[in-house]
Amino acid sequence: MQQDQGPAEAGQQAERSEADLRTGVPGAAWARWRVPLGYPVGIACIVLAHPTLTSIAIGSAVALLGLAVRAAAAGHLRRAKGIADTGPYARTRNPLYFGSALLALGFLVAAHSLVPALLLGAYFAVFYPTVMRREEAELRWNYGTAFEDYAKRVPLFLPKLGSTGGAGKTQFSFAQYVRNREYNAAIGMALIMAFLSVMAIWRR
């Protein structure tokens, strides 16, 4: 059952809906399927995996890089405090999603199977471009020219190399990392790699 909305929540939803209409980006009804469908896709990928200890070692190294990117982003992300443009946000507008892509790549290397690669690749291709465009529509609606200037400096997804121009002064905060509960990603990936290791040893 949908809960009643207060004036603030209703106003925010109306603003987001108008932003979606202005940009032609699918709204919340489409984007919220990303998480519910992610669970069965993830389970299927694990069940269909054929890991080896070597593939797990290589995949874990890639996943650690993804965790580092996400951790750095979470330590700079202060929700509802304006546009995050420091740390990894000075190199890509979506460091959390870039880190997630590295996590997925690490898992696929560890899984050592074509079918999970096709499933996970299709999942990312269907949902993540749409989700990023929708979130950017909200940021444009909320911050206007400030976000436009940021978008001109920083690429959407793939990080830029070289100097970041010294944008922003905010430093990494471990307390912010904890508040954003990014440690859940590390715990989840550790459990997945442990399960794949059991599969690899069992099938030897």
Global pTM value: 0.82
Q: What is the pLDDT of residues 128-172, one digit of tens each?
A: 888 888 888 888 888 889 999 999 999 999 999 876 665 556 788
Confidence of residue 26 (pLDDT cuts 50, 70, 90): low
Q: What is the pLDDT of residues 84-127, one digit of tens each?
A: 888 999 999 999 999 999 999 999 999 999 999 999 999 999 88
- pLDDT cut 70: percent of the chain above it: 80
Domains of the chain in start order, with CATH, are 26-160+182-202 (1.20.120)
Residues 95, 159 contacting (CB under 8 angstroms): yes
Average pLDDT score, the chain: 84
